[in-house]
Structure 1
Amino acid sequence: MTPQALFVIIAWLPLTFLLFIYFPPRTAIITSFVAGLLFQPQGAGFPLPLIPNYEGMVATCYGILLGILFFDFKRLAYFKPSLLDLPMLIWCICPIFSSVVNDLGFYDGINNSLTQSAKWGLPYILGRLYLNNLAGLKELALTILKGGLIYALLCLYEIRMSPQLHYNIYGYYGHISGVTQAFRGGSWRPIVFMSHGLVLAMWMMMVTLIALWLWQSKTVTQIWGLKIQWLVAFLVVTFFLIKSTGTYVYFLVAVAIAVSAKWLRNTIILLVLILSIIYYLFLNVTDNFDGTTLINWSAQNFSSERAQSLEFRLDNEVKLRAKAQERPFFGWGGWGRNRVYEEEWDGTIKDTSTTDSYWIIAYGTNGLVGLISFVLCLLLPVICFAWWRYPVKTWFHPQVAPSAVLAVSLALFMVDSLVNVTYNPAFPLISGGLTGLVINKPEQLKSLRKKISKRKTISKTLAMPHTKN
């Protein structure tokens, strides 16, 4: 960690306080959260006694919590727990049970639970408190879009010059591999200030989807004086230059969901997607999944390189799944006990497994209890939003469109968690916001017909010839 990285991580706390002084609490929270996600240095911070280390987005959440305590303490009194909060609660405390049943001790479980709560619970609570209505989720979507537009320019720079912004500004590479794994297909894959190129690709996929959805719903027509359709084109081009095959598939699925919702007025594609996630996990947990068909499809539709990468991941999941099934309910706990080890000829113990997907980590460390709660944290708000509170006919209403596109993005993050480890605190934040939204009664939507009729009347009045008396 360099002095400039340490300075930025320490300075983030007073910067967050300044935002609370000059802006309303919700705006201060969203701005500091998105800015911290996009520009904070990787691996910078320092340990704190009894609570998770002051680093990365945990540091941002600490600053936000202190801002709330000083400037908006009364908001905490409005929080009312709901049954829909239960999956996140279980996901945050299940490390305690995992440690206890594996004889790692209650203290170890508390530490792991605090770490999980800081990564997942804090963003979720912020979403529940401040993004629990259509206006709050709209502000979040627009801030993500604006941050994404700035990031797109940085992506184009690194695509041309190689991923060196983190090194140039903070003095070290944000990812352990540096730039050795960032060259693909004749150009560089950007990382900017994120932990990995895959995390950035998932982020830019969501940004591009938000821009497209808000354009088609007429939620916004301009940003910073630029027409939204031109910004959509710019983001689409940048996104495809990132060269992340998996996120291309996610984006095409999201576009299909949008087309189905807007013109066919049904949610069949989203429903199939969610059911496919559940079915895939069921087959894996019951040891009935055969990935041969998926590997062959990948080879035929993409490349042999992508098929080999997928085969490697699935082969490792077979080993990790077998290990997880030895402790099916609460998993193996922490300290890498969920991984597969073999003894070498000289007596040394070697880790022979690679954990490339979030779901297998959740299953191996926290068992079925952790896996089910993890999946429900991400999918239950989407299900409640789509089939309980806001039917598909409202998804392209300007008031509802930002929430709808964030719900679709959350479902796609769950898909990505089946094959990658691309943790991003924006998604538990979205989960909390959507949960708070669906707990409340549906908001009354303004009639678009009245607005259109009023505009036409004004246009006709202005077009009428004026006569002098």
Structure 2
Amino acid sequence: MRGLRRGRSGARGPLMGNEFAHIALLAWPVVAIFVYLHNDVLTATVFTLFGAYLLLPVGVAIDFPLVPPFNKESMGALSALFGVAVIARQKVRLMPPPGKVRLLFLVVLLTPLVTVSNNAEPVIMDGQFIPGLTLHDAFSAMVNQFLYLTPFLLGLMLVRGAQDQMQVLRLLVIAGLFYSLPALLEVRLSPQLHTWVYGFFPHEFGQQVRYGGYRPMVFLGHGLLVAIFYALVAAAATVLWKTRTRALVLPAGITLAYLCCVLLVTKSLGAVTLGLLAVLLLSRESTRAASLVGMGLSWIVLLYPLLSLFKLFPKQALADWIIGTDASRGRSLLFRFDQEGLLLDRAREKFFFGWGGWGRNRLSDSVTDGNWIITLGQYGFVGFLALYSIMFLAVYRGHRAARLLPADSAQGWPMAGFVLLTGIIMIDQIPNASLASPQWFIIGGLLGAASAVLAGEGGTPAAPVAVDAGQPRD
């Protein structure tokens, strides 16, 4: 199986979709304004970012002159930025606070300048002519990088304690509950909603058929994205169960059991494994054990390119183990590893700053699945290290904060949950490219809440905020 192929290539493809697809994209800022006028700023921001990701069409973009095309993620990010700054009238920082994260953020933004300067020559690949990069490509890539990280900035700004974290987790579970209705419909009827609503099918239909049935795609473009979304939702529902917090009217235990069933019917081995691992850790272990696992996952991802370069990662052994469980999935993983090797050889040619966009980082017959190899190929090891170090620092600080908070407390569980969620988000970037607005908001929220706790380090942690007593509980 050739898995999820999705990345920020910078290429401008032809517009797709029916008229309603473009109307939905253009109408999203209006929807966001209404939401911000009638909700608190955190709820409105989660709805704007997550809603755009879950509901707007895949592969449709509005292409204005001189700027990158606006798609579902950039439109959601700009709408949220406008809502926070103009409707909620909160001061928005366009950079993280001074320190390591700001430095890494600047490196991510400025790397395209060096990448473009190193890629002025054209590339000819099997008769296909790809022109050299220009300053316009550098400007476009920098704008894309900023919009890509805007949800991270908003999460860093708006999530400042346990109460905010619990609100985000609760909203994530509510989104999962509502999204399960079209997801289960597609499990029964086949993934057709994107075609019915927006006029086209955004991927390969055969990849949505698994284990004698269908896996849902809804409006995310691939069943793998739905699956990893529900892995995160199941982990969030476990935190709500541990803190006896209801998402809606159903008891937290029933909600958790239902969402685990939805996760199972997504029929994606990797996401189901990660999701059930998170549920088991959060339900049976301590907050510190859960955050330690999240820390371990982040270390694996950060070191993965070097381990792959020096052939130290046990890829063949892992594939053989999975083949013993599921031959088809094991062969699929082995295929991905083979493709990684080819793309890694390509990335070595411009190792530090990469090839840039327009598919220059690829080979004519290659399949680019993982976000890590896409980032490494486009922006080199410097770009990869800067981007993934932002995520790693969020996990590291969250892990330190979880150790300072009272173990297994109402304050400790949301912090441990965010650490584990971010670890899952990171590890999924090895086989897939699922790093989008909701994931970046969670990562920013982890860093924001952890920074608030660590501000009191050296004595006692900053005073934790109790879970909102106004929420219904079991």
TM-score band by shorter chain is: 0.7 to 0.9
2:441 equivalent in structure 1: 429
Please list, as runs of the form range in 1=range in 2, the aligned pairs for 1:345-424 lying within 5 A after superposition: 351-387=364-400, 389-391=401-403, 394=406, 396-424=408-436
**Structure 1 residues 22 and 289, CA gap change in structure 2 (3 angstroms):** closer
- Contact 2:286/2:408, CA 8 A, preserved across alignment: yes
2:262 equivalent in structure 1: 238
Within the candidate set 42, 47, 52, 1:36 is matched to 52
Residue 217 of structure 1 deviates from its aligned partner by: 2.8
Within the candidate set 255, 262, 273, 2:297 is matched to 273
- Contact 1:84/1:435, CA 8 A, preserved across alignment: no
State the distance in 1 between where 2:101 and 2:108 align. 13
2:331 equivalent in structure 1: 308
Residue 291 of structure 1 deviates from its aligned partner by: 2.2
State the distance in 1 between where 2:387 and 2:93 align. 27
More off after superposition, 423-432 vs 254-263:
254-263
State the distance in 2 between where 1:336 and 1:272 align. 32
Question: Number of matched residues?
Answer: 432
Within the candidate set 332, 341, 352, 1:329 is matched to 352
User: 3-state DSSP class of the match of 1:337?
Assistant: coil
**Which one-letter code corresponds to 1:439 in the other structure?**
S
2:125 equivalent in structure 1: none
State the distance in 2 between where 1:110 and 1:185 align. 45
User: 3-state DSSP class of the match of 2:350?
Assistant: coil
State the distance in 2 between where 1:438 and 1:85 align. 16
Within the candidate set 166, 170, 192, 2:198 is matched to 170
Residue 369 of structure 1 deviates from its aligned partner by: 0.4
User: 3-state DSSP class of the match of 2:450?
Assistant: helix
- Contact 1:261/1:392, CA 8 A, preserved across alignment: no
State the distance in 1 between where 2:338 and 2:75 align. 37
Residue 110 of structure 1 deviates from its aligned partner by: 1.6
2:463 equivalent in structure 1: 444
Within the candidate set 171, 184, 188, 2:210 is matched to 184
**Structure 1 residues 316 and 272, CA gap change in structure 2 (3 angstroms):** same
- Contact 1:265/1:392, CA 8 A, preserved across alignment: no
TM-score normalised to structure 1 length: 0.85
Residue 67 of structure 1 deviates from its aligned partner by: 2.3
User: 3-state DSSP class of the match of 1:308?
Assistant: helix
Within the candidate set 236, 239, 247, 1:210 is matched to 236
Residue 321 of structure 1 deviates from its aligned partner by: 0.8
2:11 equivalent in structure 1: none
- Contact 1:260/1:269, CA 8 A, preserved across alignment: no
- Contact 1:138/1:402, CA 8 A, preserved across alignment: yes
User: 3-state DSSP class of the match of 1:421?
Assistant: coil
Q: Which runs of 5+ in 1 are unaligned?
A: 341-350, 452-469
**Structure 1 residues 446 and 13, CA gap change in structure 2 (3 angstroms):** closer
- 1:400-432: CA deviation from partner (whole Å, max 9, x where unpaired): 423321221111111111111223211111122
TM-score normalised to structure 2 length: 0.85
**Structure 1 residues 321 and 383, CA gap change in structure 2 (3 angstroms):** same
State the distance in 2 between where 1:228 and 1:206 align. 16
Residue 201 of structure 1 deviates from its aligned partner by: 0.3
Within the candidate set 136, 150, 154, 1:107 is matched to 136
- Contact 2:411/2:466, CA 8 A, preserved across alignment: no
- Contact 1:358/1:417, CA 8 A, preserved across alignment: yes
User: 3-state DSSP class of the match of 1:47?
Assistant: coil
1:282 equivalent in structure 2: 306
| Structure label with greater radius of gyration | 1
Residue 392 of structure 1 deviates from its aligned partner by: 7.2
More off after superposition, 393-402 vs 9-18:
393-402
State the distance in 2 between where 1:382 and 1:264 align. 13
Residue 72 of structure 1 deviates from its aligned partner by: 3.5
1:467 equivalent in structure 2: none
User: 3-state DSSP class of the match of 1:354?
Assistant: coil
**Structure 1 residues 268 and 58, CA gap change in structure 2 (3 angstroms):** closer
- Contact 2:288/2:402, CA 8 A, preserved across alignment: no
- 1:207-257: CA deviation from partner (whole Å, max 9, x where unpaired): 011111220232x0x333211111111111111111110012212432454
**Structure 1 residues 13 and 181, CA gap change in structure 2 (3 angstroms):** same
State the distance in 2 between where 1:213 and 1:53 align. 38
Residue 289 of structure 1 deviates from its aligned partner by: 4.2
- Contact 1:199/1:423, CA 8 A, preserved across alignment: no
1:250 equivalent in structure 2: 274
Matched, 1:87 2:104: yes
Within the candidate set 118, 125, 128, 2:153 is matched to 125
User: What is the aligned-residue RMSD (CA, Å)?
Assistant: 2.4
2:8 equivalent in structure 1: none
Within the candidate set 21, 25, 29, 1:13 is matched to 29
Matched, 1:158 2:158: no
- Contact 2:411/2:464, CA 8 A, preserved across alignment: yes
Q: Percent same amino acid at aligned positions?
A: 26
- Contact 1:166/1:193, CA 8 A, preserved across alignment: yes
More off after superposition, 44-53 vs 145-154:
44-53
Residue 93 of structure 1 deviates from its aligned partner by: 2.6
- 1:375-412: CA deviation from partner (whole Å, max 9, x where unpaired): 2122210111112x231764642234233212211111
- Contact 1:260/1:267, CA 8 A, preserved across alignment: no
Residue 294 of structure 1 deviates from its aligned partner by: 1.5
1:25 equivalent in structure 2: 41
